[in-house]
Amino acid sequence: MLQQTPTPFLKESRAVVLETDRLILRQPTLADVKAIAHVVGDKRVSINLRRVPHPYTQDDAVSFVSTVAGTIDTVFVVEHEGMIVGLAGVSWDNENEPELGYCFGVEHWGKGYATEAARAVIDYAFEEFAIDKLYAGARVLNPASRHVLEKCGFQWTGVELHRFLALGSSTPVDRFKLERGVWSSIKSWHNSTRR
């Protein structure tokens, strides 16, 4: 059943696990801090994420896990064969504009994990909440991320300037949105389950 606001999500999300053909997405815990710091700590990753500093330390990862536990954001660590390869989720900073986000360790780029995880999170967001649109962004200098969004049905809406902590400055970001109607008409990936 669809919920009217994302607020109840926090209570339900603790037990949510999403499974795809190759991946398991689950809530992060303090036991994941070292792996999260490894993924996000690589400058090639952090410069593509708006809200993370560089260098990104284990203390930053502890703060992240602790903060996520107290918010309505829906964040999953992404595992492949028992190893954390990335993170994916939906940010509810603006309740009316939920935003998809993801990042993966450099050694896991180009394997299709981002698309697979993004589709699972998209399905979850549209199936659980009464949202009409999901938003996303990718740095103009990050064509791989833009390609993931396009493969998931997102449509380009324009370019905006956003501040990136790791860069210490603002940079152009391609903005995208995925409408519920588009998602339901193209959803043919059927590769995720929930438990």
Tell me the CATH number at 133. Answer: 3.40.630.30
Identify whether 105 is part of a domain.
Answer: yes
pLDDT in tens, 13-72: 446 899 999 999 999 999 999 999 999 999 999 999 999 999 999 999 999 999 987 777
- Examine residue 195 and state whether it is found in any structural domain, yes or no: no
Percent of the chain topping pLDDT 70 = 88
Residue 18 lies in a domain: yes
**Is the residue at 30 inside a domain?**
yes
Residue 101 lies in a domain: yes
The strand order across the sheet containing 169-179 reads 155-164, 169-179, 133-139, 99-104, 83-91, 74-80, 24-26, 17-19, 193-194
> What is the count of structural domains for the chain?
1
Name the average pLDDT for the chain: 90
Residue 77 lies in a domain: yes
C-alpha–C-alpha distance, residues 4 and 128, integer Å? 9
Domain extent, residue 137, equals: 9-189
Does the pTM of the predicted model rise above 0.85?
yes
Per the omega criterion (within 30 degrees of 0), is the bond before 55 cis? yes
In a domain, 176, yes or no: yes
- Asked whether 23 and 78 are in contact (CB, 8 A), the reply is yes
